[in-house]
Structure 1
Amino acid sequence: MTATPTSNPERDALAQRFVQFALEAGVLRFGEFKTKAGRLSPYFFNAGLFDDGAKLGRLAECYAEAILGSGLAFDMVFGPAYKGIPLAAAVAVELARRGHNKPFAYNRKEAKDHGEGGTLVGAPLRGRVLIIDDVMSAGTAARESIALIRGAGATPHAMAIALDRQEMATEVAPDGTVRDVPYSAVQYVQRELGLAVCAIAKLADLLQYLEQHDDPAMRTHRERVQAYRARYGVG
Protein backbone atom coordinates (compact mmCIF):
# COMPACT_ATOMS: atom_id res chain seq x y z
CA MET A 1 0.00 0.00 0.00
CA THR A 2 1.81 3.13 -1.16
CA ALA A 3 0.70 6.65 -1.90
CA THR A 4 3.72 7.72 -3.92
CA PRO A 5 4.25 5.66 -7.10
CA THR A 6 7.71 6.17 -8.60
CA SER A 7 6.26 6.38 -12.14
CA ASN A 8 4.56 9.71 -11.38
CA PRO A 9 6.53 12.52 -13.14
CA GLU A 10 5.18 15.21 -10.81
CA ARG A 11 6.22 13.18 -7.75
CA ASP A 12 9.66 12.58 -9.26
CA ALA A 13 10.13 16.29 -9.99
CA LEU A 14 9.08 17.18 -6.44
CA ALA A 15 11.50 14.60 -5.02
CA GLN A 16 14.40 16.07 -7.00
CA ARG A 17 13.55 19.62 -5.87
CA PHE A 18 13.34 18.40 -2.29
CA VAL A 19 16.73 16.66 -2.41
CA GLN A 20 18.28 19.87 -3.80
CA PHE A 21 16.58 21.92 -1.08
CA ALA A 22 17.72 19.54 1.68
CA LEU A 23 21.32 19.72 0.44
CA GLU A 24 21.25 23.53 0.21
CA ALA A 25 19.81 23.76 3.74
CA GLY A 26 22.49 21.45 5.16
CA VAL A 27 19.77 19.02 6.25
CA LEU A 28 21.15 16.31 3.98
CA ARG A 29 24.89 15.75 4.35
CA PHE A 30 27.46 13.27 3.17
CA GLY A 31 30.22 11.69 5.24
CA GLU A 32 30.20 8.85 7.74
CA PHE A 33 27.40 8.76 10.28
CA LYS A 34 26.42 6.06 12.77
CA THR A 35 22.72 5.20 12.64
CA LYS A 36 20.51 3.98 15.50
CA ALA A 37 20.99 0.48 14.09
CA GLY A 38 24.76 0.84 14.46
CA ARG A 39 25.40 1.08 10.72
CA LEU A 40 27.86 3.53 9.19
CA SER A 41 25.75 5.50 6.74
CA PRO A 42 27.35 7.64 3.99
CA TYR A 43 24.60 10.23 4.36
CA PHE A 44 22.65 11.85 7.16
CA PHE A 45 19.25 13.56 7.10
CA ASN A 46 18.47 15.86 10.05
CA ALA A 47 15.07 17.54 9.66
CA GLY A 48 15.80 19.57 12.80
CA LEU A 49 18.01 21.76 10.60
CA PHE A 50 14.97 23.13 8.78
CA ASP A 51 15.42 25.69 11.51
CA ASP A 52 14.04 29.04 10.35
CA GLY A 53 10.72 30.29 9.06
CA ALA A 54 11.68 30.27 5.38
CA LYS A 55 13.01 26.71 5.48
CA LEU A 56 10.06 25.41 7.49
CA GLY A 57 7.63 27.11 5.14
CA ARG A 58 9.30 25.60 2.09
CA LEU A 59 9.37 22.20 3.76
CA ALA A 60 5.64 22.47 4.47
CA GLU A 61 5.06 23.25 0.80
CA CYS A 62 6.86 20.03 -0.14
CA TYR A 63 4.82 18.00 2.32
CA ALA A 64 1.54 19.52 1.13
CA GLU A 65 2.40 18.95 -2.52
CA ALA A 66 3.29 15.31 -1.84
CA ILE A 67 0.19 14.70 0.28
CA LEU A 68 -2.26 16.30 -2.13
CA GLY A 69 -0.54 14.68 -5.11
CA SER A 70 -0.84 11.26 -3.50
CA GLY A 71 -4.62 11.39 -3.43
CA LEU A 72 -4.77 10.44 0.26
CA ALA A 73 -8.13 11.10 1.89
CA PHE A 74 -7.93 12.22 5.52
CA ASP A 75 -9.89 14.26 8.03
CA MET A 76 -7.21 15.76 10.27
CA VAL A 77 -3.47 16.06 10.90
CA PHE A 78 -1.53 14.75 13.89
CA GLY A 79 2.03 15.59 14.99
CA PRO A 80 3.81 13.10 17.30
CA ALA A 81 6.06 14.66 19.95
CA TYR A 82 8.51 16.11 19.48
CA LYS A 83 9.74 16.62 15.92
CA GLY A 84 6.32 15.93 14.46
CA ILE A 85 4.71 18.87 16.27
CA PRO A 86 6.18 21.79 14.26
CA LEU A 87 6.08 19.69 11.09
CA ALA A 88 2.37 18.92 11.43
CA ALA A 89 1.54 22.51 12.44
CA ALA A 90 3.37 23.93 9.41
CA VAL A 91 1.77 21.38 7.08
CA ALA A 92 -1.71 22.18 8.44
CA VAL A 93 -1.10 25.87 7.70
CA GLU A 94 0.11 25.10 4.17
CA LEU A 95 -2.81 22.76 3.46
CA ALA A 96 -5.23 25.49 4.57
CA ARG A 97 -3.45 27.98 2.31
CA ARG A 98 -4.11 25.58 -0.57
CA GLY A 99 -7.82 25.30 0.26
CA HIS A 100 -7.68 22.15 2.42
CA ASN A 101 -8.25 23.39 5.96
CA LYS A 102 -7.98 20.44 8.38
CA PRO A 103 -8.05 20.18 12.19
CA PHE A 104 -4.66 19.71 13.84
CA ALA A 105 -3.58 17.97 17.06
CA TYR A 106 -0.41 16.73 18.75
CA ASN A 107 0.64 14.93 21.90
CA ARG A 108 2.83 15.67 24.90
CA LYS A 109 5.26 13.04 26.14
CA GLU A 110 4.39 13.93 29.75
CA ALA A 111 0.74 14.11 30.83
CA LYS A 112 -0.37 17.53 32.08
CA ASP A 113 -1.90 17.38 35.58
CA HIS A 114 -3.60 20.80 35.50
CA GLY A 115 -5.77 22.80 33.12
CA GLU A 116 -7.25 20.52 30.48
CA GLY A 117 -4.87 17.71 31.53
CA GLY A 118 -3.93 14.68 29.48
CA THR A 119 -1.38 14.20 26.71
CA LEU A 120 -3.36 15.37 23.67
CA VAL A 121 -3.49 19.01 22.57
CA GLY A 122 -5.46 20.72 19.82
CA ALA A 123 -8.50 19.53 17.92
CA PRO A 124 -10.28 16.37 19.14
CA LEU A 125 -9.01 13.27 17.35
CA ARG A 126 -11.75 12.20 14.95
CA GLY A 127 -12.12 10.40 11.65
CA ARG A 128 -9.16 9.42 9.47
CA VAL A 129 -5.94 10.81 10.89
CA LEU A 130 -2.82 11.67 8.88
CA ILE A 131 0.37 11.44 10.99
CA ILE A 132 3.23 13.79 10.00
CA ASP A 133 6.84 12.88 10.85
CA ASP A 134 10.33 13.34 9.37
CA VAL A 135 11.74 9.83 8.82
CA MET A 136 11.05 6.33 10.11
CA SER A 137 13.82 4.11 11.42
CA ALA A 138 11.96 1.42 13.36
CA GLY A 139 8.27 2.37 13.26
CA THR A 140 8.26 3.05 17.02
CA ALA A 141 6.78 6.55 16.72
CA ALA A 142 4.14 5.20 14.34
CA ARG A 143 3.06 2.52 16.82
CA GLU A 144 2.87 5.05 19.66
CA SER A 145 0.82 7.45 17.53
CA ILE A 146 -1.51 4.68 16.40
CA ALA A 147 -2.19 3.70 20.02
CA LEU A 148 -2.97 7.31 20.99
CA ILE A 149 -5.23 7.86 18.01
CA ARG A 150 -7.15 4.62 18.48
CA GLY A 151 -7.41 5.29 22.21
CA ALA A 152 -9.17 8.56 21.37
CA GLY A 153 -11.65 6.75 19.12
CA ALA A 154 -10.21 7.92 15.79
CA THR A 155 -8.67 5.97 12.91
CA PRO A 156 -4.91 6.09 12.18
CA HIS A 157 -5.12 6.22 8.40
CA ALA A 158 -1.81 7.29 6.88
CA MET A 159 1.64 8.79 7.47
CA ALA A 160 3.52 11.48 5.60
CA ILE A 161 7.31 11.59 5.98
CA ALA A 162 10.07 13.63 4.41
CA LEU A 163 12.49 10.84 3.48
CA ASP A 164 12.12 7.09 3.04
CA ARG A 165 15.61 5.65 3.60
CA GLN A 166 14.52 2.37 1.93
CA GLU A 167 16.75 0.27 4.16
CA MET A 168 16.31 -2.78 6.37
CA ALA A 169 14.75 -2.21 9.75
CA THR A 170 16.11 -3.98 12.82
CA GLU A 171 14.57 -6.00 15.62
CA VAL A 172 15.76 -7.29 18.98
CA ALA A 173 16.10 -11.06 19.09
CA PRO A 174 15.07 -13.09 22.20
CA ASP A 175 18.73 -13.26 23.25
CA GLY A 176 18.97 -9.45 23.18
CA THR A 177 21.00 -9.15 19.99
CA VAL A 178 19.93 -6.69 17.30
CA ARG A 179 19.44 -8.15 13.83
CA ASP A 180 18.45 -6.88 10.40
CA VAL A 181 15.05 -7.83 8.99
CA PRO A 182 14.19 -8.06 5.27
CA TYR A 183 11.81 -5.10 5.22
CA SER A 184 12.02 -1.39 5.89
CA ALA A 185 10.26 0.59 8.59
CA VAL A 186 7.99 2.05 5.91
CA GLN A 187 7.11 -1.42 4.63
CA TYR A 188 6.42 -2.54 8.20
CA VAL A 189 4.02 0.37 8.75
CA GLN A 190 2.30 -0.36 5.45
CA ARG A 191 2.03 -4.14 5.72
CA GLU A 192 1.78 -4.81 9.45
CA LEU A 193 0.14 -1.64 10.78
CA GLY A 194 -2.08 -1.04 7.75
CA LEU A 195 -1.25 2.61 7.10
CA ALA A 196 -0.56 4.20 3.74
CA VAL A 197 2.77 6.05 3.66
CA CYS A 198 3.47 9.17 1.59
CA ALA A 199 7.15 10.18 1.33
CA ILE A 200 8.36 13.38 -0.28
CA ALA A 201 11.53 11.59 -1.42
CA LYS A 202 13.21 8.19 -1.17
CA LEU A 203 16.79 6.98 -1.21
CA ALA A 204 16.28 6.09 -4.88
CA ASP A 205 15.56 9.78 -5.56
CA LEU A 206 18.80 10.78 -3.84
CA LEU A 207 20.72 8.35 -6.04
CA GLN A 208 19.00 9.76 -9.11
CA TYR A 209 20.03 13.28 -8.05
CA LEU A 210 23.64 12.15 -7.61
CA GLU A 211 23.62 10.52 -11.05
CA GLN A 212 22.41 13.77 -12.63
CA HIS A 213 25.12 15.86 -10.94
CA ASP A 214 28.16 13.94 -12.07
CA ASP A 215 31.12 15.96 -10.74
CA PRO A 216 33.93 14.10 -8.93
CA ALA A 217 32.58 14.80 -5.44
CA MET A 218 29.07 13.71 -6.33
CA ARG A 219 30.44 10.61 -8.05
CA THR A 220 32.21 9.61 -4.84
CA HIS A 221 29.05 10.19 -2.79
CA ARG A 222 27.00 8.20 -5.31
CA GLU A 223 29.36 5.23 -5.16
CA ARG A 224 29.25 5.17 -1.36
CA VAL A 225 25.47 5.52 -1.23
CA GLN A 226 25.08 2.80 -3.87
CA ALA A 227 27.30 0.47 -1.85
CA TYR A 228 25.27 1.18 1.30
CA ARG A 229 22.01 0.53 -0.56
CA ALA A 230 23.40 -2.72 -2.01
CA ARG A 231 24.12 -3.91 1.54
CA TYR A 232 21.10 -2.66 3.43
CA GLY A 233 18.55 -1.53 0.86
CA VAL A 234 14.98 -2.76 0.45
CA GLY A 235 11.96 -1.34 -1.32
Structure 2
Amino acid sequence: MDWKKKFIDFSFKKKALQFGSFKLKSGRTSPYFFNSGLLSTGTNIIEIGLFYARSIVDSKMKFDVLFGPAYKGIPITVTTSIALKNYYDLNIPYAFNRKEYKKHGEKGDLIGATIYKKRIIILDDVVTSGKAIHHSIKIIEEQGAEISAVFVLLDRKEKGERDLCTINHQKNKKKYEIISIITIEDLISYLLEDKKLKKHIPKLIKYREKYGI
Protein backbone atom coordinates (compact mmCIF):
# COMPACT_ATOMS: atom_id res chain seq x y z
CA MET A 1 0.00 0.00 0.00
CA ASP A 2 2.99 2.33 0.47
CA TRP A 3 3.36 3.48 -3.12
CA LYS A 4 -0.45 3.48 -3.59
CA LYS A 5 -0.62 5.83 -0.59
CA LYS A 6 2.12 7.94 -2.15
CA PHE A 7 0.08 8.28 -5.33
CA ILE A 8 -3.10 9.25 -3.41
CA ASP A 9 -1.11 11.79 -1.36
CA PHE A 10 0.28 13.20 -4.60
CA SER A 11 -3.19 13.39 -6.19
CA PHE A 12 -4.71 15.23 -3.23
CA LYS A 13 -1.80 17.63 -3.00
CA LYS A 14 -2.17 18.55 -6.67
CA LYS A 15 -5.99 18.70 -6.35
CA ALA A 16 -6.36 16.09 -9.10
CA LEU A 17 -8.48 14.01 -6.71
CA GLN A 18 -11.49 15.89 -5.36
CA PHE A 19 -14.73 15.31 -3.47
CA GLY A 20 -18.07 16.94 -4.22
CA SER A 21 -20.73 16.34 -6.87
CA PHE A 22 -19.46 15.58 -10.38
CA LYS A 23 -21.38 14.63 -13.54
CA LEU A 24 -19.48 11.89 -15.35
CA LYS A 25 -19.42 11.10 -19.07
CA SER A 26 -21.54 8.05 -18.23
CA GLY A 27 -24.26 10.36 -16.92
CA ARG A 28 -23.74 9.27 -13.33
CA THR A 29 -23.32 11.83 -10.55
CA SER A 30 -20.22 10.88 -8.57
CA PRO A 31 -19.12 12.04 -5.07
CA TYR A 32 -15.49 12.00 -6.19
CA PHE A 33 -13.53 12.87 -9.31
CA PHE A 34 -10.01 12.38 -10.62
CA ASN A 35 -8.74 14.90 -13.18
CA SER A 36 -5.30 14.02 -14.55
CA GLY A 37 -5.44 17.16 -16.69
CA LEU A 38 -4.50 19.16 -13.58
CA LEU A 39 -1.18 17.30 -13.36
CA SER A 40 0.25 19.57 -16.02
CA THR A 41 3.69 20.73 -14.83
CA GLY A 42 7.04 19.18 -15.65
CA THR A 43 7.44 17.86 -12.11
CA ASN A 44 3.92 16.40 -12.09
CA ILE A 45 4.22 14.59 -15.39
CA ILE A 46 7.59 13.12 -14.39
CA GLU A 47 5.96 11.69 -11.25
CA ILE A 48 3.12 10.23 -13.30
CA GLY A 49 5.59 8.53 -15.63
CA LEU A 50 7.35 6.94 -12.66
CA PHE A 51 4.10 5.55 -11.25
CA TYR A 52 3.23 3.92 -14.57
CA ALA A 53 6.76 2.66 -15.20
CA ARG A 54 6.97 1.00 -11.80
CA SER A 55 3.57 -0.61 -12.26
CA ILE A 56 4.52 -1.94 -15.71
CA VAL A 57 7.86 -3.34 -14.56
CA ASP A 58 6.31 -4.91 -11.44
CA SER A 59 3.72 -6.66 -13.62
CA LYS A 60 6.47 -8.44 -15.62
CA MET A 61 4.21 -7.96 -18.64
CA LYS A 62 5.67 -8.71 -22.08
CA PHE A 63 5.12 -5.87 -24.54
CA ASP A 64 6.70 -3.96 -27.43
CA VAL A 65 4.93 -0.59 -27.69
CA LEU A 66 3.07 1.83 -25.41
CA PHE A 67 -0.21 3.25 -26.77
CA GLY A 68 -1.87 6.44 -25.51
CA PRO A 69 -5.48 7.21 -26.46
CA ALA A 70 -6.03 10.84 -27.50
CA TYR A 71 -5.99 13.12 -25.69
CA LYS A 72 -5.05 12.46 -22.05
CA GLY A 73 -3.24 9.25 -22.90
CA ILE A 74 -0.72 11.08 -25.10
CA PRO A 75 1.39 12.84 -22.42
CA ILE A 76 1.00 9.78 -20.18
CA THR A 77 2.53 7.55 -22.85
CA VAL A 78 5.42 9.93 -23.55
CA THR A 79 6.38 10.38 -19.89
CA THR A 80 6.12 6.63 -19.21
CA SER A 81 8.41 5.88 -22.15
CA ILE A 82 10.95 8.36 -20.73
CA ALA A 83 10.67 6.88 -17.21
CA LEU A 84 11.17 3.33 -18.49
CA LYS A 85 14.36 4.44 -20.23
CA ASN A 86 15.76 6.63 -17.44
CA TYR A 87 15.02 4.33 -14.51
CA TYR A 88 14.85 0.82 -16.00
CA ASP A 89 16.98 1.14 -19.14
CA LEU A 90 14.07 -0.02 -21.32
CA ASN A 91 13.97 1.85 -24.63
CA ILE A 92 10.27 1.39 -25.45
CA PRO A 93 8.63 3.06 -28.49
CA TYR A 94 5.20 4.67 -28.22
CA ALA A 95 2.25 5.53 -30.42
CA PHE A 96 -1.01 7.43 -30.08
CA ASN A 97 -4.08 8.13 -32.19
CA ARG A 98 -5.54 11.25 -33.72
CA LYS A 99 -9.17 12.16 -33.09
CA GLU A 100 -9.55 12.91 -36.81
CA TYR A 101 -8.15 10.94 -39.75
CA LYS A 102 -5.41 12.90 -41.55
CA LYS A 103 -5.66 12.79 -45.35
CA HIS A 104 -2.40 14.58 -46.22
CA GLY A 105 1.29 14.34 -45.27
CA GLU A 106 1.92 11.11 -43.38
CA LYS A 107 -1.87 10.47 -43.42
CA GLY A 108 -3.76 8.04 -41.19
CA ASP A 109 -5.01 8.22 -37.62
CA LEU A 110 -1.90 6.96 -35.77
CA ILE A 111 1.30 8.82 -34.84
CA GLY A 112 4.55 7.31 -33.57
CA ALA A 113 5.83 3.75 -33.68
CA THR A 114 4.46 1.13 -36.04
CA ILE A 115 2.26 -1.26 -34.08
CA TYR A 116 1.59 -3.93 -36.72
CA LYS A 117 1.97 -7.39 -35.14
CA LYS A 118 3.37 -5.80 -31.96
CA ARG A 119 2.34 -6.40 -28.33
CA ILE A 120 0.71 -3.25 -26.99
CA ILE A 121 0.15 -1.77 -23.54
CA ILE A 122 -2.67 0.80 -23.48
CA LEU A 123 -2.11 3.66 -21.01
CA ASP A 124 -5.01 5.81 -19.86
CA ASP A 125 -5.80 7.84 -16.75
CA VAL A 126 -9.11 6.46 -15.43
CA VAL A 127 -11.41 3.57 -16.26
CA THR A 128 -15.05 3.86 -15.20
CA SER A 129 -17.31 1.68 -17.34
CA GLY A 130 -14.68 0.71 -19.92
CA LYS A 131 -16.45 2.27 -22.92
CA ALA A 132 -13.59 4.60 -23.91
CA ILE A 133 -11.00 1.82 -23.77
CA HIS A 134 -13.06 -0.28 -26.17
CA HIS A 135 -12.41 2.41 -28.78
CA SER A 136 -8.63 2.03 -28.30
CA ILE A 137 -8.92 -1.75 -28.54
CA LYS A 138 -10.71 -1.38 -31.89
CA ILE A 139 -7.99 0.95 -33.25
CA ILE A 140 -5.18 -1.38 -32.18
CA GLU A 141 -6.79 -4.57 -33.44
CA GLU A 142 -7.48 -2.96 -36.83
CA GLN A 143 -3.71 -2.47 -37.08
CA GLY A 144 -3.09 -6.19 -36.59
CA ALA A 145 -1.55 -5.73 -33.14
CA GLU A 146 -2.03 -7.68 -29.90
CA ILE A 147 -2.96 -6.04 -26.60
CA SER A 148 -0.97 -7.17 -23.54
CA ALA A 149 -2.93 -5.19 -20.94
CA VAL A 150 -4.50 -1.84 -20.03
CA PHE A 151 -2.80 0.28 -17.35
CA VAL A 152 -4.60 3.16 -15.60
CA LEU A 153 -4.00 5.43 -12.64
CA LEU A 154 -7.45 4.87 -11.14
CA ASP A 155 -9.91 2.03 -11.67
CA ARG A 156 -13.31 3.19 -10.42
CA LYS A 157 -14.58 -0.42 -10.81
CA GLU A 158 -18.07 0.47 -11.97
CA LYS A 159 -20.69 -1.41 -13.92
CA GLY A 160 -20.53 -1.09 -17.70
CA GLU A 161 -18.57 -2.43 -20.63
CA ARG A 162 -15.76 -3.80 -18.47
CA ASP A 163 -15.46 -7.11 -20.27
CA LEU A 164 -12.52 -5.87 -22.32
CA CYS A 165 -11.85 -8.43 -25.00
CA THR A 166 -11.06 -8.85 -28.66
CA ILE A 167 -13.55 -7.06 -30.86
CA ASN A 168 -12.63 -8.49 -34.27
CA HIS A 169 -12.77 -12.16 -33.28
CA GLN A 170 -16.10 -13.20 -31.84
CA LYS A 171 -14.92 -16.79 -31.33
CA ASN A 172 -12.27 -17.66 -28.73
CA LYS A 173 -12.20 -14.11 -27.35
CA LYS A 174 -9.13 -13.11 -25.38
CA LYS A 175 -9.91 -10.98 -22.34
CA TYR A 176 -7.68 -8.04 -21.49
CA GLU A 177 -6.54 -7.29 -17.97
CA ILE A 178 -6.94 -3.85 -16.37
CA ILE A 179 -4.00 -3.02 -14.08
CA SER A 180 -4.36 0.11 -11.95
CA ILE A 181 -2.15 2.14 -9.65
CA ILE A 182 -5.12 2.44 -7.28
CA THR A 183 -8.76 1.34 -7.16
CA ILE A 184 -11.78 2.77 -5.36
CA GLU A 185 -11.10 0.25 -2.57
CA ASP A 186 -7.59 1.66 -2.12
CA LEU A 187 -9.05 5.16 -1.89
CA ILE A 188 -11.59 4.14 0.76
CA SER A 189 -8.85 2.38 2.79
CA TYR A 190 -6.79 5.58 2.62
CA LEU A 191 -9.74 7.72 3.81
CA LEU A 192 -10.32 5.44 6.79
CA GLU A 193 -6.92 6.47 8.15
CA ASP A 194 -7.43 10.22 7.67
CA LYS A 195 -9.53 12.04 10.30
CA LYS A 196 -10.32 14.98 8.00
CA LEU A 197 -11.19 12.98 4.90
CA LYS A 198 -13.03 9.99 6.38
CA LYS A 199 -16.25 12.05 6.39
CA HIS A 200 -16.49 11.39 2.64
CA ILE A 201 -16.63 7.61 3.07
CA PRO A 202 -20.45 7.23 3.48
CA LYS A 203 -21.14 8.89 0.11
CA LEU A 204 -18.44 6.84 -1.62
CA ILE A 205 -19.82 3.60 -0.18
CA LYS A 206 -23.40 4.53 -1.16
CA TYR A 207 -22.26 5.30 -4.71
CA ARG A 208 -20.25 2.09 -4.84
CA GLU A 209 -23.24 0.04 -3.70
CA LYS A 210 -25.28 1.49 -6.58
CA TYR A 211 -22.74 1.38 -9.43
CA GLY A 212 -19.82 -0.77 -8.28
CA ILE A 213 -18.90 -4.21 -9.54
- TM-score, normalisation: structure 2: 0.89
Tell me the equivalent position of 1:123. Answer: 113
Root mean square deviation, CA, Å: 1.7
2:26 and 2:141 map into 1 onto residues whose CA distance is: 29
Consecutive unaligned residues in structure 2, runs of 5 or more: 167-172
Tell me the equivalent position of 1:23. Answer: 12
Which of the numbers 54, 73, 81 marks the counterpart of 1:84? 73
Q: Note if contact 2:61-2:148 (Cα within 8 Å) is conserved in structure 1.
A: no
Note the alpha carbon deviations across 1:106-141, whole angstroms, 9 max, x for none. Answer: 111112222111111111004210011011233233
Tell me the equivalent position of 2:206. Answer: 227
Tell me the equivalent position of 1:144. Answer: 135
Report whether the alignment pairs 1:66 with 2:55: yes
Once the two structures are TM-superposed, the CA of residue 190 in structure 1 deviates from its matched residue by 6.1
- Partner AA of 2:147 in structure 1: P
1:89 and 1:35 map into 2 onto residues whose CA distance is: 26
Tell me the equivalent position of 2:178. Answer: 197
Q: Note if contact 2:127-2:157 (Cα within 8 Å) is conserved in structure 1.
A: no
Once the two structures are TM-superposed, the CA of residue 92 in structure 1 deviates from its matched residue by 0.8
Worse-matched range after superposition: 69-78 or 136-145: 136-145
Worse-matched range after superposition: 66-75 or 136-145: 136-145
2:38 and 2:52 map into 1 onto residues whose CA distance is: 16
Which of the numbers 94, 106, 109 marks the counterpart of 1:104? 94
- Structure possessing the higher relative contact order (Cα contacts under 8 Å, 6 or more residues apart): 1
Note the alpha carbon deviations across 1:57-114, whole angstroms, 9 max, x for none. Answer: 1011111111111221111101111111111111111111121211111111112222
Q: Note if contact 1:190-1:197 (Cα within 8 Å) is conserved in structure 2.
A: no
Consecutive unaligned residues in structure 1, runs of 5 or more: 1-11, 170-184
- Partner AA of 1:135 in structure 2: V
Note the alpha carbon deviations across 1:188-233, whole angstroms, 9 max, x for none. Answer: 22697611221010000100110111x2x31211222122222222
Once the two structures are TM-superposed, the CA of residue 147 in structure 1 deviates from its matched residue by 1.9
2:133 and 2:23 map into 1 onto residues whose CA distance is: 22
- Partner AA of 1:95 in structure 2: L
Name the % identity. 38
Report whether the alignment pairs 1:212 with 2:202: no
1:145 and 1:70 map into 2 onto residues whose CA distance is: 21
SS at match of 1:188: coil
Once the two structures are TM-superposed, the CA of residue 41 in structure 1 deviates from its matched residue by 1.3
SS at match of 2:54: helix
- TM-score, normalisation: structure 1: 0.82
Tell me the equivalent position of 1:8. Answer: none
Q: Note if contact 2:129-2:159 (Cα within 8 Å) is conserved in structure 1.
A: no
SS at match of 1:189: coil
Q: Note if contact 1:32-1:43 (Cα within 8 Å) is conserved in structure 2.
A: yes
SS at match of 1:146: helix
Q: Where do 4+ consecutive residues of structure 1 move more than 4 Å?
A: 190-193
1:62 and 1:102 map into 2 onto residues whose CA distance is: 16
1:14 and 1:106 map into 2 onto residues whose CA distance is: 28
- Partner AA of 2:10 in structure 1: F
Tell me the equivalent position of 2:157. Answer: 166
1:190 and 1:160 map into 2 onto residues whose CA distance is: 15
SS at match of 2:129: coil
